[in-house]
Amino acid sequence: MNAAVRNAPDLPVEPAGLPADDVDRHFSRLIPFSRVALAVSGGADSLCLMVLFSEWKRRVAWPGNAEVIVVDHGLRAESADEAKFVVENAAKAGLPAKILKWTGNKPTSNVQDAARKARYQLISQRMSETGAEVLLLGHHRDDQAETFLDRLTRGSGLYGLSSMSADEADGPEGLRLVRPFLEVSKNRLEASLRDRGMNWCNDPSNRNSKYKRSRLRRILSLLEEEGLTAERVADTAGQLRRAREALETTIHSFAAHNLEEHPAGPARMARRDYRTLPEELRLRLLSLVLGRVTGLRPRIRLQKLQSVDDALMSEDILRHTLAGTRIKAEAKTVWFWREPGRMPPEILQDLEGEGIWDHRFIYFAPKHQREQSKAVGLRLGPLCEAPIRAKDIEWPQDWPKEAFACAPVLWTENGNVVSPSCCLGLRIGENDKEEVLNLARLPFRAKLDGNYLDGRDAEQEI
């Protein structure tokens, strides 16, 4: 009798690296771009991103430009050597690289969160300098699963549990983020590097139980023994993200048809239209409008939003301030506007080129008019700080006058208003001076400007 022949090896099968066809599919979304940046730390995930991107770029003859960005946080003695390691490997891959250093005092608590914020700020500044349109990140399926578990422990709802997107149009610092490997396991990325005989840097904090991410990895390995694999967790996060995107589309559509924005900044809607929405959409809509009016991303307590929502659903007359927004509701109409408060919008002087004022408006000084702007000492600031008398303003009908306190106004050093058209709907006096600055409202962001917060966690979106 012949001995039985085993059909499987005794040891676990090593995962295979990514084949070229899969790599091409993952990077195909980059074809429309002409300039990209890659965030590379030296770990296996981001290093594999850099190597496979370089190969893809040559294989498909992608004509764009790319730069590798490595941030040296200076939190560990070996971080400078790791940054050099990335630069050396980038050169071998035929890609230019730039090291950005996080300088200044470092926090003693919430270090990882502070480092993450600093990293995106530094990268955003660099991308503005180079004109890069999109940032590539090496996040993978295991990261997605860990993010899901992290937010689950915080009691997150739909927004938190939907986790990361493969293509995020409005990420931190407003960056366009692309994560080509979000469907790929970490093991396959490491296998791709081993196939090429490459090593990578290992961050000891990844194994330090002091950090929650390290503890979650151990929990995930236990869950996998019960059938809850990283792949299944990531699939659930993906389903929730689709639900979130559908919700965002619904809210944006409602706002487009029912929210009226005055060119100078305030907004209004019919109270009866607001009441047609279910509670979840009303709360998200309030968060959206408050973010739109202030130009910020307000992180508002659920209880505070619910309090405003309760008042709007009743017959009460409402006068309320929340997250820098003044809310006024009468029987038929609800108005929203940015309040000056203790910190009114800044006054800009000697305007040149293009910029953003008060997070709400973009200005552009045409080249042939910049000298004229300097000569007259042009100022851009809020109506409440402008040298203008209320009786000289032709106020818009059916809008509260106070709603325009933070409307943008242009005036000269000697106190003359420059151009009525720059005041976006507020006609001031009989001024007919030549316009020396183009001013326009920033467009709606693709992502909801703010998500309300769970009362149990000061940072967690729900």
Do you know the residue count of the chain? 462
CA angle centred on 159, ends 153 and 165, rounded to 5°: 100
Q: Which amino acid type is present at position 338?
A: R
Range(s) of the domain holding residue 369:
348-441
Written as tens digits, the pLDDT of the chain (462 aa) is: 444 434 444 444 567 889 999 999 999 999 999 999 999 999 999 999 999 999 999 999 999 999 999 999 988 889 999 999 999 999 999 999 999 999 988 887 778 788 889 999 999 999 999 999 999 999 999 888 888 888 887 777 787 788 788 998 888 888 999 999 999 999 999 999 999 999 999 866 666 566 676 788 788 778 877 788 888 888 888 888 888 889 989 999 999 999 999 999 999 999 999 999 999 999 999 999 999 999 987 778 889 999 999 999 999 999 999 999 999 999 999 999 999 988 899 999 877 778 889 999 988 877 656 666 666 678 899 999 999 888 888 899 899 999 999 999 988 888 788 765 556 666 665 544 555 678 888 887 645 544 555 444 434 444
In three-state secondary structure terms, 214 is helix
Q: Is residue 259 part of a domain?
A: no
Paired strand residues for 49: none
- In this prediction, residue 149 carries a pLDDT of 85
In three-state secondary structure terms, 23 is helix
For the beta sheet containing 348-349, the strands, ordered from the edge strand earlier in sequence to the opposite edge, are 348-349, 379-382, 408-411
Q: Is residue 204 part of a domain?
A: yes
Q: Which amino acid type is present at position 219?
A: I
What is the Cα–Cα distance from 362 to 421, expressed in whole angstroms?
Answer: 14
Helix then strand then coil, in percent of the chain rounded to 5, is: 40, 15, 40
Which helix (H) or strand (E) is 382 found in, with range?
strand 379-382
Question: At which residue do the structure tokens 């619904």 appear?
Answer: 250
Do 234 and 382 fall into the same domain?
no
What is the Cα–Cα distance from 100 to 115, expressed in whole angstroms?
Answer: 13
> Please, what's the b/e burial string for 194-228 (b: 16 or more CB within 10 A of its CB; e: otherwise)?
eeeeeebbeeeeeeeeeeeeebbbeebeebeeeee
Residue at a domain's end among 206, 241, 276: 241
Work out the end-to-end distance of the chain between its first and last CA atoms, rounded to an integer number of angstroms. Answer: 65
When divided into structural domains, the chain yields a total of 2
Q: Is residue 435 part of a domain?
A: yes
Do 31 and 157 fall into the same domain?
yes
Q: Is residue 305 part of a domain?
A: no
CA dihedral of residues 249, 244, 36, 146 (deg, nearest 10): 180
Which has the closest alpha carbon to 241: 142, 346, 158?
158
Q: Is residue 288 part of a domain?
A: no
Q: Which amino acid type is present at position 42?
A: G
Q: 267-270 and 354-357 as β-strands: parallel, antiparallel, unpaired? A: unpaired
- In this prediction, residue 109 carries a pLDDT of 78
Residue at a domain's end among 223, 241, 259: 241
DSSP-derived secondary structure letter, 461: B
- In this prediction, residue 436 carries a pLDDT of 62
Do 87 and 233 fall into the same domain?
yes
Do 227 and 82 fall into the same domain?
yes
Q: Output the domain CATH number for residue 173.
A: 3.40.50.620
Paired strand residues for 15: none
Residue 206, token pair as written in the block:
């990844």
Residue at a domain's end among 192, 213, 241: 241
Distances (CA, A) of 374 to 367, 369, 435: 12, 9, 14
What is the Cα–Cα distance from 373 to 371, expressed in whole angstroms?
Answer: 5
Q: Is residue 408 part of a domain?
A: yes
Paired strand residues for 354: 364
Q: Is residue 3 part of a domain?
A: no
Question: At which residue do the structure tokens 């389903």 appear?
Answer: 239
- In this prediction, residue 282 carries a pLDDT of 96
Which helix (H) or strand (E) is 98 found in, with range?
strand 97-101
Q: Is residue 420 part of a domain?
A: yes
379, 411 Cβ separation under 8 angstroms: yes
What is the Cα–Cα distance from 89 to 102, expressed in whole angstroms?
Answer: 22
- In this prediction, residue 6 carries a pLDDT of 40
